[in-house]
Amino acid sequence: MLDGIPDNEKFDLVVSNPPHFNENTLKNYVQYDQITLLKVYDESWKLHRKFYLNICKFLNERANVILVENSEGSNERDFIGMISEGGLKYVGVIRSTLEDIINSSYISINRLNLDKGVSKIVKRLPYGMYKLAFSFGFKMHYKPL
């Protein structure tokens, strides 16, 4: 959480992928083990608060901070106050589109070694067919396991 960074370091861009869930949103997850909990849980958003309060001293003028969050576990409204308290300006949210999700899923599946049963067929679908099939079966909200 920035403790090991020398005070004289300055950045133009900081990208972070912090834990996405607090005690209110973690309950949406039916199953999780201790390792998963370490990766996804930020109690009362303490890690986020510490990050926002301390990152400003490491930023060059006109620098940007991008945090990758999970909308299942948090909302930008959870952090806007922290952002301001840290001396930063909230600019907005970049949301992935259905097209982004389809493209990344297609790329991921094609890179897997899936050579059995239905997986073999799905892996070899032309992109247009995959996109069409995915679009019909896509649900805008999913229940995490």
Quote the pLDDT of residue 125. Answer: 63
What is the per-residue burial (b if ≥16 Cβ within 10 Å, else e) of 112-128? Answer: eeeeeeeeeebbebeee
Q: Measuring CA to CA, how many Å separate 30 from each of 22, 40, 69, 144, 145? A: 14, 13, 20, 7, 6
Quote the pLDDT of residue 81. Answer: 95
Q: Extract the residue ranges of the chain whose pLDDT is less than 70.
A: 29-31, 100-145
Quote the pLDDT of residue 144. Answer: 42
Q: What is the total residue count of the chain?
A: 145
Quote the pLDDT of residue 140. Answer: 44
Task: Give Dmax (Cα) for the chain.
Answer: 56
Quote the pLDDT of residue 63. Answer: 94
- Specify the pTM: 0.68
Cα angle value 37/39/40 (rounded, 5°): 70
